Amino acid sequence: MGNKHPTIREEEKLKREDIDRLKEITKFSEAEIQQWHKGFFQDCPDGKLDGSTLTRFYVSYYGEHGTKFFCKYMFASFDKNSDGAINFEEFLTAVSPRCQGKLSHRLGFLFDMYDTNGDEKINSKELVALITAMYDLVDCTDRKGEHHPEERAKNIISKLDRNKDNQLDREEFIVECSKDSVIRRLLAPHFEESKNNSIK
């Protein structure tokens, strides 16, 4: 996010209790939290990140193709109170698993993003939608046979679904995706990027 020195309203400035809470939640250091905070308000002076701003960030990284559809899911996973905007705490809480070293944290974030109905399960319909979104995002045109989103979702659930309920719970998803490099790359294509303070 931005590197300039934004003007932050008094009510939006971080207090000691805010920093301590965010350190506990995100495992970021105080310096990292302050850096994220400065960048957030550089890009979002009113303290709110809306869907169009999030989409703009992704467009700058991936291009126009498929970005809006993907960002719809990303925004929903960030906007925990469903008020149509993301404040700094929601933003930092959402991005922290993507910036930490443990793969389980990153896959847990991805699980929450896929679990669009909030039932703590990923079903075939949810998986097809997200695979389609990611294919669109990276402009993947090879969607025939085993590469078709529906076929890919079917194969993934078949392979990962240990209790045979045709859904994936969090443990199944994290444990099995951690073992399978091919599936991990498909489901988490941009979690292998180098760590940096970017919304991307």
Checking if the pLDDT of 75 tops 70, the result is: yes
pLDDT computed for residue 194 by the predictor: 39
For the chain, where are the alpha helices, taking DSSP H only? 16-26, 30-43, 51-62, 67-78, 88-99, 103-114, 124-137, 149-160, 170-179, 181-187
pTM, rounded to two decimals? 0.56
| One-letter amino acid of 153 | A
- Domains of the chain with bracketed CATH: 16-99 (1.10.238.10), 103-192 (1.10.238.10)
> Cα–Cα distance between 99 and 105 in angstroms, integer?
9
Nearest to 6 by CA among 53, 45, 34, 33: 45
What's the pLDDT tens digit per position in 12-48?
A: 889 999 999 999 988 889 999 999 899 889 888 889 9
Q: Which of 94, 105, 98, 92 is nearest to 36 (CA)?
A: 92
pLDDT over threshold 60, residue 198: no
pLDDT reading at 105 higher than 60 = yes
Q: Return the pLDDT at 110.
A: 75
